[in-house]
Amino acid sequence: MNAPAASLVRAALKENRVEDPDRGAKAPQNGAFGGVGGRNPSAAPPRGRQSLQAGGDSADSRSGRNAPQGKGPNRKRRKRRRGRKVFAREGSDSAPPAAEKRPAASVGSAQSNARPVAPAKSRANAPVGPRQEMPARRSAPATGSGVSSGPRSHQLPVYAALDLGTNNCRLLVAVPTRPGQFRVIDAFSRIVRLGEGLSTSGRLGKPAMDRAVEALKVCGDKLRSRQVRRARLIATEACRAAENGSEFLDRVEREAGISLEIIDRKTEARLAVSGCGSLVDRSTDGVVLFDIGGGSSEIALIDLSSARTPRLANHIVSWTSLPVGVVSLAERFGGRDVTPDLFHAMVDEVAGMLDRFEGRLRLAHVTSDRKRFHLLGTSGTVTTLAGVHLGLDRYDRRRVDGLWMDNAQVDAMIQKLLGWNFEQRVANACIGADRADLVLAGCAILEGIRRHWPAERLRVADRGLREGMLSELMADDGAWRRWRKGAS
C-alpha cells in the first residue's frame, strides 16, 4: 500500500473511531466483526484474521526468507484488515468474512444454544402439552444450535418425545433428516424410581414424586428453550396403576409446566415396535420384540413372513403387557441378594404369566425354525447385559445399540451376574448403584421370555418409546416429505 492510501485508511479509522482489534480494542457490535447470536465479538479472533494466518503467507515467508522488521507481510495484512473494516462501515460492496461460528453444542451440554428460559412463574401459564403443536417458525442460524449443517438445516422443524416410566424419565429432542431417520439435538435421562413402593402400597410415594418432578422441571426447561413444532409427552405403568396418579399429573403440570398423557399398554407396545423397526434383520420372517420396563413388560409378536411394509407396527399379530417389571419384581422377591433358587422362582412367575397369554402361539409357524426369527430387546436389562458382555469400562451406546448376542453369550452373562454379589454389581461400570438391585429381576423376565420363544439370537436395542414417538410424529406431520423437497 502506498503512502497516500495508508494516510487515507488512517484518517478513515480515526473518523469512524474503530481501533485495530490486534491491540485488544473491542470491535463494534454491528460492524465488520459483529458476533453471531449474541456472541461477544472480542471472545475470539474473526475468521478473516485466521484465514490470513493460515493461508495468506507471502512469497518471502513461503521461501524462508526473513522480511525486514516492521515492513513484512504482517504489517500489510493489518493494513488490509483495517481497510476492509472501514469499507464495510461505509457500506462498501467488499464485505469482510463472516464471524467465526461456534461448534454445535453437544447433546445434554450445559452450554446449549437455548434461548433464555422463561421464569418459573410462567410455567403454569404455558404448560407443554402431550401433543402440543406450535406454528412453524424460522429457526435461528445453525451456529451454536446443536444442529449439524446440511440441506436447509436451519429451517428443519424440531420434535420432542418424553417418556416418564416407572424407573426412568427420558427426553429426546430431534430434527428429521433423510426419510425414516432423525438427528438428536438434545436429550435427558435420569433414574427417578417413580414406582418405588407402588407394588405394596398402590400409591406413588412422596419422595418418588419429588424426584420425578425435579427431573421433569429440567425437561420442561429444555422444551421451552426450543421452537418445538410437535411434542408427545407420555407416562406409563406407574401413573396407570397408582391410585394417586392423576393427582401427581396435576402437580407435574403445576410445578414443571408439563401436561403428561397416560397411554395404555397397547399403545406402549406399538410405540416400542415403531422405535426399533430399523434393527429387525431383513432376512428374518418373524420377531419377538420385548420391552422390560420398571412396572410392566410389553411383548409384541411380529410376522414378516408375507409382504413387508415400512411400518413395522403394521405386522404385529399379537401382543401382551405383563404386569411385572424390574422394580415391582425386585420389590416382591428382593433384588439385592439374589440366590439361584430365588432367581429361578422369579423366572417361574414370569413364565406362568406368559402361559396365560392366549396369543403366544400366533407366531408358531415361524418360531418352529429358530433360524427364521430372532428376539429384539429394548430395555436397561438387555443393554446392561450387552455392556457387561463387551467388557466396557464405560457404557457406550454406539457399541451396544444393534449388538447381536447368541444363546451361549446370553447364558454366560446371566450366570456371571448371578455369581456376583451386590457390591460387585455396583462396581461394574455398566450397572452401577442405580441398577445393581434391579438387573437380576430384569434377567429373570428375559429368561421367562426366552423359555417361551427360544430363538438362537438376541438383538439389543438402546432405543424404544421415545424413538417410536418421534418417528410417528414426523411421519404424521409429513416432515420427511418436506425434508426431501428441501434437499433436492
The CATH number for 125-134+152-265+472-487, chosen from 3.30.420.40, 1.10.287.130, 3.40.50.20, 3.10.350.10, is 3.30.420.40
If DSSP codes are grouped into helix, strand and coil, which group holds residue 373? strand
- Measuring CA to CA, which residue among 156, 168, 378, 171 is closest to residue 275? 378
Q: What is the pLDDT of residue 370?
A: 81
Give the whole-angstrom CA distance, residue 83 versus residue 76: 10
Kindly report, residue by residue over 44-92, the tens digit of the pLDDT: 333 333 332 333 333 333 333 344 444 455 555 554 554 444 333 333 3
Regarding pTM above 0.75, the answer is no
CA 402 from chain center: how many Å? 16
Q: Output b/e per residue, 391-421; b: 16+ Cβ within 10 A.
A: eeeebeeeebbbbebeeebbeebbeebeebe
Contact 381, 387 (CB under 8 A): no
Q: What is the pLDDT of residue 382?
A: 96
Domain edges within the chain: 1-29+81-86, 125-134+152-265+472-487, 280-462
- Measuring CA to CA, which residue among 330, 325, 316 is closest to residue 445? 325
Kindly report, residue by residue over 333-356, the tens digit of the pLDDT: 999 999 999 999 999 999 999 999
**Sole residue written with cell 426431501:** 484
Q: Is residue 43 very low, low, confident or very high in pLDDT (cuts 50, 70, 90)? A: very low
H or E stretch at 289: strand 286-292
Same fold, 125-134+152-265+472-487 and 280-462: yes
The CATH number for 280-462, chosen from 3.30.420.150, 3.40.1800.10, 3.30.420.40, 3.40.190.10, is 3.30.420.150
